[in-house]
Copies of this chain bind each other. A is one copy, B any other.
């Protein structure tokens, strides 16, 4: 059908290979519960701590702090602190943080485009405990 050419998927040979570790790290970050929401909000410009908190429904103070620290550590977000009273801290995407937006949005768009297909696949899978049948050299076998 389709193997032949297309893009080489020869990346990620094993969990301990070269660029694989970096991939795992960024995947863990974008795969975690809050990072992408934060990045999405910050994509619109710099925000204060409580602006983020209000803008991201359901996030706790703790997780907002932790996730922001992680993003800052990765160099995706800058933290600017103003020791005024009351204190004020601004968070902003770095240039690198902004470049992450493109590949991430490609994935988000994929998810949107395929969400019906996925939902249908779920339905099919969940409603088919029985019809697990199989075809071997032209002969149909039924599972027992």
For chain A, what secondary structure do more than half of its interface residues adopt (helix, strand, loop), or is it mixed? helix
- For A106-119 the 0/1 string (1 means CB < 8 A from B) is 11111111110111
Q: Is A129 an interface residue (CB 8 A)?
A: no
The residues of B that contact A111 with a CB separation of less than 8 Å are 19, 22-23, 25-27
Residues of B within 8 A of A32 (CB): 31
**A130 within 8 Å of B (CB atoms):** no
Do A118 and B83 touch across chains, with their CB atoms under 8 A apart?
Answer: no
Q: Which of A83-139 contact B (CB under 8 A)?
A: 83-84, 95-96, 98-115, 117-122, 124-126, 132, 134-136
Distance in Å: Cβ of A66 to nearest Cβ of chain B: 14
Contacting residues, chain B, for A15 (C-beta < 8 A): 37, 56-58
Interface residues of chain A, those whose CB is within 8 Å of chain B, are 2-3, 6-7, 9-12, 14-16, 19, 22-23, 25-28, 30-32, 36-37, 39-40, 43-45, 56-58, 72-76, 80-84, 95-96, 98-115, 117-122, 124-126, 132, 134-136, 141, 143
